[in-house]
A = this chain, B = another copy of it.
Amino acid sequence: MPRTRVHNLNISLDGYAAGEHVTLDAPIGGAERLFAGFDGRFIHGMDAVDAPVTLDRALTTLWGQGIGAEIMGRRKFGPQVGEWSDDGWRGWWGDETPFRTPVFVMTHHPRPPIDLPDGTSFRFVEGSPHEVLALAREAAGGRDVRLGGGPSTVRQFLEADLVDFMHLVVVPVTLGRGVSLWEGVSGVEDRFTVESIASSSGLTHQFWNRNGRG
């Protein structure tokens, strides 16, 4: 049974995983400090990345393993709100994205898909977490589905009990404000077995494995 997985979700000490106001200059909404120590070169594995392999980087390599599709919220795709304008926006990533799979962007404003030459296709869909997950599973062809964030999207799937695995990273910064992963979520830890791993970098990695699997 394919899993629904969250990877490298960085969270501040006060529980925020993104800032409130995403703009063209602030893709994480002002919470860019959460990713100051993140080495994105490792998301597809340690292949040809000539840098020391630390614990933090090693765990980052899980991101793409066995993934056949991603689901993301609209705010991860771009800063626009409301109806889409004809501004040619194709996401933050240009023609070479990290995804290389179908990506389902959850939005109340559907639009035609965007197919990129690197294997990424953005598909804009409206629906409940269950409905969007069904679409992503079908596109993933038996592989796992990555739930790419942001935090309010992950929270929706947690509340619907659709998350099988989460790799959270507690970053030793405080933000004071932002979008919380946990807002209104209570007792979700009862459904998971949680392993906490302290890194010499100051990060704490948490693996949340849903009980009753494997």
Bound CA span A3–B109, Å:
48
- Give 1 or 0 for each of A43-64: 1 = CB within 8 Å of chain B CB: 0011111111111001101100
Does A87 count as interface, using CB distance less than 8 angstroms? no
Are A66's CB and B53's CB within 8 A? no
CB distance from A169 to the nearest CB of B (A): 13
Chain A interface mostly: loop
Bound CA span A200–B195, Å:
8
- Given A143-B47, A195-B200, A61 and B54 touching (CB < 8 A)? no
- B3, B46, B196, B214: which contacts A65 (Cβ < 8 A)? B46
- Given A52-B193, A197-B197, A213-B52, A46 and B58 touching (CB < 8 A)? no
CB distance from A4 to the nearest CB of B (A): 13
CB distance from A108 to the nearest CB of B (A): 33
Q: How many copies of this chain does one complex carry? A: 2
Are A61's CB and B65's CB within 8 A? yes
- Given A55-B195, A58-B58, A197-B197, A65 and B45 touching (CB < 8 A)? yes
A188 contacts across to B, CB distance below 8 A: none
Does A1 count as interface, using CB distance less than 8 angstroms? yes
Bound CA span A196–B55, Å:
9
A1-B50, A53-B165, A55-B205 given; name 10 further pairs at CB < 8 Å: A47-B66, A47-B143, A48-B142, A50-B214, A52-B207, A53-B207, A53-B209, A55-B195, A55-B207, A61-B61
Which A positions have Cβ atoms within 8 angstroms of B? 1, 3, 45-55, 58-59, 61-62, 65-66, 142-144, 165, 167, 193, 195-200, 205, 207, 209, 213-214
